[in-house]
Structure 1
């Protein structure tokens, strides 16, 4: 019998793991945005001394994980499991990062929902008594994502008005069976939702229905009210997707307008930085959570937060074959109290 299950899709953790450290690294453009003071390391260039964008992304993720472990005052040998993924084929950024760490590794693919997916699984493993320490991480890179999903930068293609800017960055979180919080207390696992959007340059509206489904189900499963949260933040819906999500959630009876935002909106100044509808990518919610959100929770400016990382589960092959774009969103509750 699933004793920890609430409703259809939520788990309440009986022994909530504590977040004992986070670390995030971002690229130069992200470091010029509104959250620049919250990031642990801002790169001077996107290649970071590597020969390719892909090698750079793997290095960014690896260094983020190592730094999070170091800040937790533990060693790599203390970590029971690493949960990580990214956007590239066969999650090569994470696999090549993991081969340098020698930590038992679960490779994940949830597209841009991977940060919440890794935290969900890492938290449940600790809560279940299977680990004392887990590391949850993900990354993305503007140039590697453009090369895979759209066109190499050398083409000089004009970006559409609905386009978003893939974040160059990574975030890593260390979860522990001991600690004084903040704690991961609830996990709401998303379903794949597809309302038929085919435009690969319009990710926000493609993912928004999945975010709505998960957030509404979270409220139904847990009995939480909107006022029980200080912040609800989605992963990378951007300006248009966030507007759609907020409106659809309101139609379900939950007015989140006073406490809701999106990582893709917060990470860039869209007008000054010309990012169109905002940020996207695995590194978007990863760096915003590991930087801004976590530090605001630690400072007690926020007490309970719902992080809802969002992902578009498409591929270039699927798009070329006329497939629609499935979306998914995973939610976790982070609180200063158990």
Structure 2
């Protein structure tokens, strides 16, 4: 691995994508990507007595699905990296407490999945890890109770609000270059605070952070937008997405139709109570692992840049009148061609 510029890591071999596991909630399963997910639950309680236990089961189930696809078990893993939106990462830790694998909990709000992918890819590329499990989860009802603000159910929400995704997305990464896809770069984001204080305008709060990180990636990697078939942000929603597209147009860099957002893709805009689109820790992981990677593995795309975005607020900071800083971490995925399996990344 080499550091390119101030924020970007270029992996010498990359981390191979071996398998994914996705479990979607009821609303997500009825959305336009529903058939792309491995499991669609029919009740968001998922057979559990509390929303929190349901989210833990989402994480546990997605992990099992991914591992079963490549006939791996807990004992084969060297590292688990991931997180969620709940206090003390309880869904991550409690959902995977049956595992004996070393694990690192990460938190970047809804940017946690690419933060976790960057950490795991670095561990693999440095020859310290052979197999890593990476994932995130979220649940609409646990987020409404713990993370979102106001927390009272029944509060009328404005059109700028977003719906927290219920689900979990997990990926198994490996060190050997035999996977169809691999992670080649990661750009670690910086805090960007534009002074937005409304918790209902997270897309607007996160869009400047996405702009900053994506610019840093292209500046430091030497690659250009035309080198990518898809540039997907994590959960800006319709409003944040349009703001980001406008920022790039104003900067003389029109990304066109290759720029999309997981928060827009996961729901049909006509579905009830999805507002400006999806959000939450599982928004980017479900769409990326359940849908976007399929376009790479099938050969429709050759490269994509996934840029998960996070609004770093809490109910406490909102009540204290703080602004909402945004952050975005980007990870580049590449399809491995038959002539490029020696572990080196393409230029």
TM-score (norm 1): 0.97
Distance 2:89 2:97 in 1: 12
Report deviation, 1:58.
Answer: 0.8
Partner of 2:43: 45
Measured against aligned partners, the alpha-carbon deviations of 1:64-108 in whole angstroms (never above 9, x if no partner) come to: 112111112211101000001000111110110221212111011
CA contact (8 A) 1:164 1:238 kept: yes
Give the alignment of 1:162-311 within 5 angstroms: 162-178=160-176, 179-311=178-310
| Residue in structure 2 matched with residue 320 of structure 1 by the alignment | 319
SS at match of 1:122: helix
Secondary structure of the residue that 2:232 maps to in structure 1? strand
* In structure 2, C-alpha distance between the alignment counterparts of 1:304 and 1:225, rounded to whole Å: 11
Matches within 5 A, 1:97-176: 97-148=95-146, 149-152=148-151, 155-176=153-174
Tell me the equivalent position of 1:29: 27
Contact in 2 for aligned 1:98/1:105 (Cα 8 Å): no
The match for 2:339 is: none
SS of 2:119's equivalent in the other structure is helix
Mapped contact 1:87–1:111 kept (Cα < 8 A): yes
- 1:36-115 aligned at under 5 Å gives the runs 36-115=34-113
What secondary structure, in the 3-state scheme, does the structure 1 residue paired with 2:80 have? Answer: strand
C-alpha separation in 2, matches of 1:254 and 1:224: 13
User: Gapped runs of 5+ residues in structure 1?
Assistant: none
Instruction: Tell me by how many angstroms 1:226 deviates.
Output: 1.2
Runs of 4+ in 1 over 4 A off after TM superposition: none
Look up the match of 1:11: 9
Where 2:133 maps in the other structure, the secondary structure is strand
Contact 1:216–1:249 (Cα < 8 Å) also in 2: no
Conserved? CA contact 1:79–1:135, under 8 Å? yes
Gaps of 5+ in 2: 337-344
DSSP 3-state at the match of 1:103: coil
CA shift digits 1:262-315 (9 cap, x unpaired): 000000011233411000001000100010011111111111000000001111
Cα RMSD between the aligned structures?
A: 1.1
Distance in 1 between the 2:119 and 2:248 partners? 26
Please give the alpha-carbon distance, in whole angstroms, between the structure 2 residues aligned to 1:252 and 1:129.
Answer: 39
**Alpha-carbon shift at residue 251 of structure 1 (Å):** 2.4
CA distance in 2 between partners of 1:95 and 1:74 (Å): 20
The 8 Å contact of residues 17 and 175 in structure 1, kept in 2 or not, is answered as yes
How many angstroms does 1:236 deviate by?
0.2
- 1:121-154 Cα distance to aligned partner (Å, 9 max, x none): 101100000100011100000010011123556x
Query: Displacement, 1:57?
Result: 0.4
Equivalent residue pairs, number = 335
